[in-house]
Structure formats: C-alpha cells, structure tokens
Amino acid sequence: MRLPRGPGSLLVQIETALAAEGQPLRWAIVAVEPAADPQAGPGGAVLTIEAVVLA
C-alpha cells in the first residue's frame, strides 16, 4: 500500500488506511519517498506499507 503522509499522528493514518482493507495483524513501513510536490511541507512524503490483514 502506498500512503501519502499527512499532518498528525502517523500511527493513526496507517491504522485508518489499513482498517479499510481489514483487521491489521502486522505491518511495516518499507520505504519512504519525498512527495512530488515540493510545497508539501515536512510531512509531505509517500510511505510504502506492507501489511498482513484479516479480511
């Protein structure tokens, strides 16, 4: 899953995104890329998340 980083709690953002797919059993951030928009600010990054979810 690729997740654009927004302001606020990173944990909440990840858990919310994963909950849309099912119950997250475990997950890991495997890559962080800078956002394409240079105006995105310090939180502007795209995370790659690998997860195991119970559907």
| pLDDT greater at residue 36 or residue 38 | 36
More confident of the two residues 37 and 4: 4
> Residue 12: exposed, middle, or buried by beta-carbon count in 10 A (0-12, 13-18, 19+)?
exposed
Distance separating alpha carbons of residues 46 and 55, to the nearest angstrom: 25
DSSP one-letter code for 33: E
Picking from 26, 42, 25, the residue whose alpha carbon sits closest to that of residue 34 is 42
Residue 38: pLDDT band (50, 70, 90) is: low
* CA triple 51-30-21, angle to 5 deg: 25
**pLDDT value at position 51?**
97
pLDDT of residue 42: 60
Q: What pLDDT score does 36 carry?
A: 77
pLDDT band at 37 (very low <50, low <70, confident <90, very high): confident
